[in-house]
Amino acid sequence: MMDNPEFHSKNQPPLDQEFTKNRFKDKVVVITGGASGIGFAVAERFANDGAVVAIADMDRTNGAKAVERIKAEGHDSVKFYFVNVADKSSCTKAVEEVTGDNDGVIHCLVNSAAFFGSSGLNSEPADWRKSCDVNIMGAASMVQACHPYLVKANGAAIVNLASASALRAQPERWTYSATKGAIITMTKNMALDLGKDQIRVNSISPAWVWSPVQAKASVDGSQESMPAVADFSIKRRAANTSEIAAVTVFLCSRDATYMTGTNVIVDGGYCAIGPERLGDQSLFAGEKS
């Protein structure tokens, strides 16, 4: 995926990166799933904004490429750490390595790693176990492992990647969607329990994001070969990874100090659309003026 320049934020429409430079100066951030897609874009944006970035992922090859790419963009404070979030001891080990490198403190944790496999009526216990282990328990284990070090930040933030799949029914997606619903609920519980430690916890629900996962699902690896996505949102296109990263990093910033326990929908209007769809074929009801 690192070989596809479409997923580097520098090649996506520019956001306000100039203005936010240095807002995370010397802050230590851990991003699971940071070797690809949204997690990588979050790592890029945090690096742009001055943070010390720990990319925590089970994909060593993409992890190395992600570090290389961010360094090539002029940011040296980035390092890869191996983690399998489905294994609690692996989470503890990775977090100990990060804190060993960074004076025992973590300021932000973003849980972006996920297992996308989904099944419905034919789902087997193994499907449920893998989805729950990676998507739910994985996020929980990372929060548990990071907690003592987040407390030391005295004003830390956690963002868990949920999904619009938790908010709208999608075909054959019992396992994936259920875990994303759990993330939204668990986020509120975490926010309640960790509030006393000055740790804010929020979730983000994107809908369709043009990331390597979507590229794999497309006909020929191009956005154009996924025309249906255009009909699914008011924006009439998938999100760029940088657009999800921008909101994720905002939630971790001092501009969001009153936000905790909430789920932020970043979906281009996917959840706003009703049965009349985008309005192209609906009848006008009421007076015109």
Catalytically active residues are 176
Q: Return the residue of 20, 32, 102, 248 that touches ligand NAD, per CB under 6 A.
A: 32
249 binds ligand NAD (CB under 6 A): no
Identity of the residue, 134 or 178, whose beta carbon is nearer to ligand NAD in the bound complex: 134
Identity of the residue, 115 or 257, whose beta carbon is nearer to ligand NAD in the bound complex: 115
> Binding marks (x or -) toward ligand NAD, 75..114, rule CB under 6 A?
--------xxxx-------------------------xxx
Contact 37, 1 (CB under 8 A): yes
Minimum CB–partner distance for residue 258 and ligand NAD (Å): 25
Question: In this structure, which amino acid lies at residue 160?
Answer: N
Comparing CA positions, the residue from 54, 30, 256 lying closest to residue 155 is: 256
Q: Which residues in the 127-146 window bind ligand NAD by CB under 6 A?
A: 134, 138
Minimum CB–partner distance for residue 133 and ligand NAD (Å): 8
The angle subtended at Cα 24 by Cα 18 and Cα 26, nearest 5°, is 125
Strands in the chain per DSSP E: 28-32, 52-57, 78-82, 108-111, 156-161, 199-206, 209-210, 239-240, 263-266
Which residue carries 């893998």 as its tokens? 130
Q: Which residues in the 54-73 window bind ligand NAD by CB under 6 A?
A: 57-59, 62
209 binds ligand NAD (CB under 6 A): yes
Q: Structure tokens of 165?
A: 């799949």
Beta bridge partners of 31: 55, 110
d(CA 149, CA 108): 10
268 binds ligand NAD (CB under 6 A): no
List interacting residues with ligand NAD (CB under 6 A). Answer: 32-33, 35-39, 57-59, 62, 83-86, 112-115, 134, 138, 161, 163, 206, 208-209, 211-214
